[in-house]
Structure 1
Amino acid sequence: MLFWLSLHFIIGLTGTWMVRGYALRRDLLDHPGERRSHNIPTPRGGGVAIVIALLVAACVLGWRNPHQFILIAGFTMGLLLVAGVGMIDDHRPLSPWLRLSVQAMAAGIFALAVAGTWGDLSMAVLAFVAVMVLTNIWNFMDGINGIAASQATLVAVGLAFVLGGSWFWLTLALAAACLGFLPFNFPKARIFLGDVGSGSLGFALAALLVTALAGLGQPSHGILLLLPLSAFLVDSGLTLLRRLLMGERWWTPHVQHAYQRWAAGAGTHALVTLMYAGWTAAAWMLAWWLATRTEGQMTLWCALWFTMTAALWGWLQHSYSNRKEPQAAAIGKGRK
């Protein structure tokens, strides 16, 4: 295990360093702007290193576990599509509808792999929805130093205890690669994930989540796996809903997420990232505690947890919405 973790940590670390040099040479920089949350030009595209680590892990595991070839192949093909369109967008901005179409193709491929593996149409539909939702949520929430990669790490580490077999190792590879990337993005951002990184993280986590759900002996426990995603699900979902109700162009960049306003108002991004991390860690502890409870207790506690998350979102929005949103220190990905 130590060798496996070290290998993917090194890929994430050295790969990010190499991509940063490439981005500087090619002038692939996110520049400050009215709808961006950083104040200095910063290279983007660092998520390529995480993608490479995941591809290495998938190839090794697919070779060692031929009985799961279809599922791992579907994961690999979908990841390549999401990462590919994200990489192109990092070089020259694409239409959001084109990116969404490619993401839908990736979701469809993975959904077909799920159907071929388990023969369950409902799981295939869930796989499609999960990929579309989490791929875009991680893109939406990649806006301050370290938040997207740290949340991906925490979710992956928890899922590693749920998953078994080859997917356990793939989950560890994701976590280790994110840890290799984080020194370049937190607490000070020397490179951003870029679309290639944020979208790929969302895709990978969606695939891992669906695989974990399929392997649970008790399907009712699946609701517990949503708890560690609560901070991102609520912040992105309620912010999007509010923009829709206000008639705004919801697909355009903005800085209206609770975490963005909190970071701008507090004048620090490290605090916000760490608080979100603490929330996710607490959610995992609650999930483990609820795993031995009745289905009714699970439903009640999950409802209370998400209600509390939504209440905190509202409080943060109210507390910081009237404050001027300064051009804050270099963060996550700059095009939010």
Structure 2
Amino acid sequence: MLAWMLLYFVLAAAGTWLARRYALKRDLLDRPDERRSHAVTTPRGGGIAIVAALLVACVALTIRLPDQALLMAAFAAGLVVVAGAGWFDDHRPTSPWVRLGAHAVAATLFAGAILHVFADPWLAGAAAIAILVLVNVWNFMDGINGLAATQTMLVAFALGAFIGGPWTGVALALAAACLGFLPFNFPRAAIFLGDVGSGALGYAVGAITIMASATQSMPWPLLFLPLSTFLVDAGLTLLMRMRRGERWWTAHVQHSYQVWVRSGAGHATVTFVYMAWTLLAILLMLGLRQSSPLFMLCGVVAWYMSSAFAWWLLRRAAQQRVLRNH
């Protein structure tokens, strides 16, 4: 397994280097403006390297475990659809509704395979919802150096350690590929994930989470814990924008991590704090694994309530610093 992880690390690192050369040649650049949190013009599209490494992992695992061929094929097809939509958007911005349609196609492909293999319509429905939600959450939260890639790496590694079977390989391949990408994106960014990367990471995290539930290797309420960092920030910010009557589907800089950066915090500081938040959630997931269902559910609810309160405190303090700075 370590040898395979090293391969995916190298593939992602080499692919990111090539993607940067391509982006510079094709003028695929994110320039600073009022909707972005960076101050330097930076190439985008580096996430294509993570996608390529994951596709190699799918082929290798299918050869080794042909009984997983249908699920692996569906996962790979959905990944290509999501990444392809993002790749086109990185080259020429497209309608968010067109991208959402592509995400729905990818979600349907994987959900259909889940239904065929497990004959469980509830699990298939959960797969479709998880993929649609997490693809867009990862798109929303990919706004500062290292944030989306580090969160994906932590979640994938945590799930990979407990899923068992072939999907451990997929999860650890994702974690290794993110690690190969990170030297180009954190603490300083030589290239961004781009929509090709952020959407693909959300898709992969959603699919792996569903497989963790399908194999019953982890009680399903606990699977919400590693995702809490992004779900809380994205979810509460979305609700806030909807309450204000804003066009919530458009790009903005209103997430708490973005407000914190505007208040003067460095990208690395914010990313490390969000990593610590997720690591604590993973530790709680492990601690609650053997507890009773009621205690487990109470623990998850308490964690989300605490996280929401921490989100509010962070946002309030950061907004006050922004006002003082101006």
Q: Where on the TM-score scale, by shorter chain, does this alignment land: which range? A: over 0.9
Task: Name 2:251's counterpart in structure 1.
Answer: 253
Q: Distance in 2 between matches of 1:143 and 1:169?
A: 28
Task: Name 2:185's counterpart in structure 1.
Answer: 185
1:75 aligns with 2:81: no
Task: Name 1:333's counterpart in structure 2.
Answer: none
State the Cα distance separating 1:217 from its structure 2 match: 5.7
Query: Is the partner of 1:321 in helix, strand or coil?
Result: helix
Task: Name 1:331's counterpart in structure 2.
Answer: none
Task: Name 1:262's counterpart in structure 2.
Answer: 260
Unaligned runs of 5+ in 1: 326-336
State the Cα distance separating 1:253 from its structure 2 match: 0.9
After superposition, give the CA deviation of every residue in 1:154-197 in whole Å (9 maximum; x if it has no partner): 00010012211211111111000000000000000110000000
Taking structure 1 as the reference length, what is the TM-score of the superposition?
A: 0.94
CA RMSD of aligned residues (A): 1.3
Task: Name 1:288's counterpart in structure 2.
Answer: 286
Write the mapping of 1:256-335 to structure 2, written as runs, cut at 5 A. Answer: 256-324=254-322
Write the mapping of 1:109-258 to structure 2, written as runs, cut at 5 A. Answer: 109-216=109-216, 221-258=219-256
Higher relative contact order (CA 8 A, sep 6+): 1
State the Cα distance separating 1:266 from its structure 2 match: 3.2
Is the 2:79–2:106 Cα contact (8 Å) retained in structure 1? yes
Q: Distance in 2 between matches of 1:252 and 1:208?
A: 28
How has the CA–CA distance of structure 1 residues 217 and 33 changed in structure 2, closer, same or farther, with 3 Å as cutoff? Answer: closer
Task: Name 1:334's counterpart in structure 2.
Answer: none
Q: Distance in 2 between matches of 1:116 and 1:73?
A: 13
State the Cα distance separating 1:63 from its structure 2 match: 1.9
1:8 aligns with 2:16: no
Query: Is the partner of 2:225 in helix, strand or coil?
Result: helix
Q: Distance in 2 between matches of 1:207 and 1:299?
A: 22
State the Cα distance separating 1:202 from its structure 2 match: 0.3
State the Cα distance separating 1:114 from its structure 2 match: 0.5
Q: Distance in 1 between matches of 2:180 and 2:64?
A: 25
Moved over 6 A (4+): none
Aligned length: 324
Task: Name 2:31's counterpart in structure 1.
Answer: 31
Is the 2:31–2:40 Cα contact (8 Å) retained in structure 1? yes
Is the 2:37–2:261 Cα contact (8 Å) retained in structure 1? no
Taking structure 2 as the reference length, what is the TM-score of the superposition?
A: 0.97
State the Cα distance separating 1:238 from its structure 2 match: 0.4
Query: Is the partner of 1:145 in helix, strand or coil?
Result: coil
How has the CA–CA distance of structure 1 residues 25 and 32 changed in structure 2, closer, same or farther, with 3 Å as cutoff? Answer: same
Is the 2:162–2:217 Cα contact (8 Å) retained in structure 1? no
Query: Is the partner of 1:93 in helix, strand or coil?
Result: coil
Query: Is the partner of 2:186 in helix, strand or coil?
Result: coil
After superposition, give the CA deviation of every residue in 1:10-40 in whole Å (9 maximum; x if it has no partner): 0111110110011001110001111111111
Task: Name 1:332's counterpart in structure 2.
Answer: none
Is the 1:223–1:302 Cα contact (8 Å) retained in structure 2? yes
State the Cα distance separating 1:267 from its structure 2 match: 2.9
After superposition, give the CA deviation of every residue in 1:237-258 in whole Å (9 maximum; x if it has no partner): 0000000000001111110001
Unaligned runs of 5+ in 2: none
Q: Distance in 1 between matches of 2:265 and 2:307?
A: 22
Is the 1:70–1:116 Cα contact (8 Å) retained in structure 2? no
- Name the % identity: 52
Query: Is the partner of 1:228 in helix, strand or coil?
Result: coil
Q: Distance in 2 between matches of 1:156 and 1:171?
A: 5
Is the 2:163–2:217 Cα contact (8 Å) retained in structure 1? no
Task: Name 1:59's counterpart in structure 2.
Answer: 59
State the Cα distance separating 1:321 from its structure 2 match: 2.4
Q: Distance in 1 between matches of 2:317 and 2:69?
A: 50
Q: Distance in 2 between matches of 1:89 and 1:323?
A: 35
